Chain A
Amino acid sequence: GRSEVSGGTAVLWCQQEMEDKVISPEKAEEVKLKARYPNLGAKPGGSDFLRKRLQKGQKYFDSGDYNMAKAKMKNKQLPSAPTEKSEITGGHIPTPQDLPQRKTSIVASKLAV
């Protein structure tokens, strides 16, 4: 407690404590976010985040792995595992069925109707 401090200073100290407790809405949101994601890095605008932005559209494709996977499938007759079409990275070798068919939309824009 602060009972040993003189009356005037005690009032000031109480005010300071109150001010510290009034956090800006932005900082309150930050506290919320860090509570949900404790491993969140300290620098949000930093290198990792920007580099992820620069890598948009990156799909990983190795023709060697792809052809071997195709050959394996022919032999084992495995059903192709349903996968997230957007997540063809990591351990999964994309097969012809997995690669999204990027064809132009030949349908006219609905704005032009």
Chain B
Amino acid sequence: MAGPGGDMQWCFSQVKGAIDDDVAEADIISTVEFNHTGELLATGDKGGRVVIFQQEIENKNQPQFRSEYNVYSTFQSHEPEFDYLKSLEIEEKINKIRWLPQKNAAQFLLSTNDKTIKLWKISERDKRPEGYNLKEDDGRYKDPNSITSLQVPVLIPMDLMVEASPRRVFANAHTYHINSVSVNSDNETYLSADDLRINLWHLEITDRSFNIVDIKPANMEELTEVITAAEFHPHQCNTFVYSSSKGTIRLCDMRASALCDKHSKLFEEPENPSNRSFFSEIISSISDVKFSHNGRYMMTRDYLSVKIWDLNMENRPVETYQVHEYLRSKLCSLYENDCIFDKFECCWNGNDSVVMTGSYNNFFRMFDRGHRRDITLEASRENSKPMQVLKPRKVCTGGKRKKDEISVDSLDFNKKILHTAWHPQDNIIAVATTNNLYIFQDKVN
């Protein structure tokens, strides 16, 4: 990735989370998302908790250090539930967080578990009133007889307090497990998608939602594919896409009909039937779909690759990047240990020139579309000295292993990077390992 001065280098900035290897299940990070300005960074975990970090105002005296992210707010978003009617245990794990664009002083985000979406308001309080006529400052009521004069209460500064409150709860609309939420560019509606259905909500209305996609077959024996991800177009409020477990993406136009079961476009790469194997369908399942910021492309992630699609071309992707092709000869073991079902996410940088996704062994990959370069980096405590430049990593696929290379059989498949996020404007990235959040930034000259 060549910057104005040559190749860009990534440096360690911060790491959040416990160092110990004994990871409590609740601490497993399940989603990471920057807000629209990049000032706030939210994480969700398996324990239903949300932690929001805020970027400190840049230190103008030391321009070589980009500002750090510090804890801004943390709250329990979802709690475990048991649906007695259906005998269903509902996990509190936060599947997705999506920020709303800021409209006023407060910040809003949507967080969802398998069944319920919540709109959270995060607001700051830095003043408090003092000098009430009827109450003492500590809250005790004054004796009315002691009041001889009238005073106007004043607002005085206080230590910043950040409060999170649930403003809306969007419940009981999903029979299956929610995998995606996406806020519409109209800033009034959003969609939520589960395995078989997609619903459209209004942010103000919690007691009803419109079903816009329903792929449930009349006979469940005929079920052949499920919805894996869905997203609204960044500018066209009538357009959204959803991906499937069979490797297809459907683009739908809500102006065409109320129920968008019939797609406007179907994106599918033809497969060579002679290459088909037992694993073909499983590894073609799309785990994430993301529109580019400019709205002209979309990116999909399947088990082994990242594909960029031009919205005007349905029959094949315009670019395909291999994330970890060396795993193709390990599919049998990856099926046995269930890793083949891991759902990796992917993301674009601010100007859509670079895409990023995670892999195993705490490796993550970046693909520079313009310069046709790719790099493998590692999120590890060993490379966590302040501003330490990350060394590119390489996996040795066979034959003689060079020094500094790691062989495929030595990869740790329990160390997976499923969630990554890229600051909307700057070269700052957030990479989640199992229970740690790493923040890296490019080396500023």
Contact = CB atoms under 8 A, between A and B. Distances in A.
Contacts of B234: none
A112 B74 contact: yes
A21 interface: no
A44 interface: yes
B47 interface: yes
A108 interface: yes
A18 interface: no
B281 A104 contact: no
A75 B100 CA distance: 58
Nearest to A35: B332
A54 B329 contact: no
B45 interface: yes
B26 A105 contact: yes
A47 B221 contact: yes
Given A44-B281, A102-B82, A54 B176 contact: yes
A50 B245 contact: yes
A92 B370 CA distance: 60
Contacts of A27: 277
A2 interface: no
10 contacts: A25-B329, A26-B329, A30-B332, A33-B278, A36-B336, A53-B226, A54-B226, A59-B82, A104-B80, A111-B437
Interface of A: 24-30, 32-34, 36, 40, 44-47, 50-51, 53-54, 56-61, 102-105, 107-113
A61 B437 contact: no
Interface string B76-111: 100111101011111110000000000000000000
A105 B49 contact: yes
Interface in B5-52: 16-18, 26-27, 29, 43, 45, 47-49, 51
B48 A102 contact: no
B288 interface: no
Nearest to A112: B74
Contact of B92 (A34, A104, A111): A104
A61 B87 contact: yes
Contacts of A111: 16-17, 27, 29, 43, 45, 51, 71, 74, 437
